[in-house]
Structure 1
Amino acid sequence: MKYARLTKEQFDELHPEFVNFLATQTIDKAEWDKIKVEKPEVAEQELDIFSDLIWEGVLSRAEYLENFSKNHIFLFQCFEKHIESIVLKSMVADTNFLTKEGLQWLSDNMFTENIEMKIGKKEYVEERNISIFGLIQQGSFLSDGQLFKQINSIVNS
């Protein structure tokens, strides 16, 4: 398995796609039910293959990621060969970017000595999608990139 198996909730959400996936292998509901009982290892393989296909599609389209913690915000823009990052760090210990108040504080203090900003660019060490998946496993999530674009446009103007 290249990525990770989807959760039960994700499989439930993607049920129609999974049915189509099985249909491409000429497996109908009766056949699938039989496989689950008689050959659970084959059923497990099918779940893993489908999970990898879904992840591959999602990761191939991924352009922006965000990761928030109490005192840091990591923003990423994913390109074909490299990734660019903006890292914001609060220099005030009791700031909490995980709250609405913390984000308001960030807005009020963005370009002051209270916020340390680092901008970076890095070539992928591994395959692009594997690298992006690693960031997701560390807590990043896909985003529309609005915050990255806003900060990037101010910094580059």
Structure 2
Amino acid sequence: MSEYRLLSLEELQEMENEFVNYLVVNGIAAEDWERMKCAEPAKAERLIELFSDMVFETIMRNVQFLEYREKKELITFQCLSDKLVLVGMKAEGDSEADFTSQDYIKRAMVSPPDGLKVYTSEKKYQKKREIELFEMTQRGCFITEGNLFKTLCLALD
């Protein structure tokens, strides 16, 4: 059973060269792979699971920042080795906030609207770091360079 999820067929096709190298490193030639897919589909599926896990583990290991956006709330995360540091903004009341709009975020950073609450928090990982970050991406967070997180932190000082 995989730790993450299987790469889609499209994702596998995009990573064809890497997958071929993975098979070669594991001693599986092209003709052996073709034969395995037909004769031993469970074994072929397991190799795809292991490759998928390796890909996602590598990606998640390198994640430093995540963001989550809803219309009325924006949450940014710094993903440290032992914990998550969160800085968020939430529009309260009848605000016409739309944190899904990049233009709105830029305007809010320059001239914060009334009823905007900025908050911070920290949380230790409950699971293995990479698994927890992966689960966050599956729930709607996306990986960023951290520019918004850093800007919000500077605004708090």
TM-score scaled to structure 2, two decimals? 0.91
**Corresponding residue for residue 10 of structure 1:** 11
Amino acid at match of 1:45: R
**Corresponding residue for residue 65 of structure 1:** 66
Secondary structure of 1:84's aligned partner: strand
Q: Please report how far the alpha carbon of residue 104 of structure 1 lies from its aligned counterpart in structure 2 after TM superposition.
A: 4.1
Secondary structure of 1:18's aligned partner: helix
**Corresponding residue for residue 102 of structure 1:** 104
Q: Please report how far the alpha carbon of residue 116 of structure 1 lies from its aligned counterpart in structure 2 after TM superposition.
A: 1.1
My pick for the range that moved more, 113-122 or 47-56, is 113-122
**Corresponding residue for residue 80 of structure 1:** 81
Q: How many residues align?
A: 155
Q: Please report how far the alpha carbon of residue 108 of structure 1 lies from its aligned counterpart in structure 2 after TM superposition.
A: 4.3
CA contact (8 A) 2:65 2:146 kept: yes
**Corresponding residue for residue 114 of structure 1:** 115
Structure 2: distance between partners of 1:137 and 1:100:
22
My pick for the range that moved more, 82-91 or 92-101, is 92-101
CA contact (8 A) 2:75 2:87 kept: yes
Structure 2 unpaired stretches of 5+: none
**Corresponding residue for residue 132 of structure 2:** 131
Matches within 5 A, 1:10-29: 10-29=11-30
Amino acid at match of 1:28: A
Q: Please report how far the alpha carbon of residue 93 of structure 1 lies from its aligned counterpart in structure 2 after TM superposition.
A: 4.2
Please give the per-residue CA displacement for 1:5-30, whole angstroms capped at 9, x wherever unaligned: 11222212211111110001111211
CA contact (8 A) 1:109 1:115 kept: no
Structure 2: distance between partners of 1:60 and 1:131:
11
Please give the per-residue CA displacement for 1:96-125, whole angstroms capped at 9, x wherever unaligned: 222344334423443x53311110011111
Structure 2: distance between partners of 1:142 and 1:134:
12
Amino acid at match of 2:98: N
RMSD: 1.6
Structure 1: distance between partners of 2:129 and 2:103:
35
Q: Please report how far the alpha carbon of residue 71 of structure 1 lies from its aligned counterpart in structure 2 after TM superposition.
A: 1.3
Amino acid at match of 1:29: A
Q: Please report how far the alpha carbon of residue 147 of structure 1 lies from its aligned counterpart in structure 2 after TM superposition.
A: 0.5
Q: 1:7 to 1:109 in 2, by over 3 A?
A: farther
